[in-house]
Structure 1
Amino acid sequence: MDQFVGQARLEWWANPSVCLEMYDIDVTVTVDAAGEWWASGRHAHALDATQREGWDFLMEMDPYFSVAFPGEDRGGIMVRVVEADDGALTLMQAPDWNGSASVTFDLT
């Protein structure tokens, strides 16, 4: 079993050319012999009020992020992020994510 413990970056891409936000995370990734992996972590730095508002907005809109590991300019693994009440993050690989989501805005 292989493991990576360190920092990574979550990137939220609006389209292939526009990254709306990036968040540094401390992460532990474990990969088994079959290539299946599990990841958990936390934000590397506490989010201020503005960052928290942006994070919550993106998570509500579409909780899929790209993960960039050290040495990568751009993330290549798509993950679905789940945040627990205590701030712990769980990252689940999203191989079937097609880059689209259904989003409805209430502008009233």
Structure 2
Amino acid sequence: MDRLVSQGHLEWWANQSTCLEMYDIDITVSVDAVGQWRATGRHANALDTTQREGWDFLMEIDPHFSIAFPGEDRGGIAVRVVEAEDGTLTLTEVAEQDRHASRTPC
């Protein structure tokens, strides 16, 4: 199994040209023998009250983000994010068309 421990940021895009928010995360990505991609992470810095409200709002609207790694201008991997009560983030790769299927176009 291949494994990468890195930092990155989650980007929440309203449409192809409008990124509403970015959140820095510490992430561990692993790929198993059949190519299945899995990732867990945490916010790199504790969210203040305003950031937490924004995060919770976006997660309620649609928990699909793009993830960008250092050196990338824009996130290239669409992921669905689930946050556990302890703050652990589980990221699951999704197809780009599935990511936008639940959003109303702006």
So what's the TM-score if we normalise by structure 2? 0.92
Matched residue pairs, number?
A: 103
Q: Which residue of 2 aligns with 1:101?
A: 102
**CA distance in 2 between partners of 1:40 and 1:102 (Å):** 24
Percent identity among equivalent residues?
68
Closer, same or farther in 2 for the Cα pair 1:39/1:98, shift >3 Å?
closer
**CA distance in 2 between partners of 1:30 and 1:53 (Å):** 30
So what's the TM-score if we normalise by structure 1? 0.90
Gaps (5+ residues) in structure 1? Answer: 104-108
Q: Which residue of 1 aligns with 2:16?
A: 16
Aligned AA for 2:40? Answer: S
**CA distance in 2 between partners of 1:58 and 1:64 (Å):** 9
Higher-Rg member (1/2)? 1
* Structure 1 runs of 4+ with >2 Å offset: none
Q: Which residue of 2 aligns with 1:106?
A: none
* 14-23 or 27-36, larger mean C-alpha shift: 27-36
Q: Aligned with 1:46: secondary structure?
A: coil
Q: Which residue of 2 aligns with 1:53?
A: 53
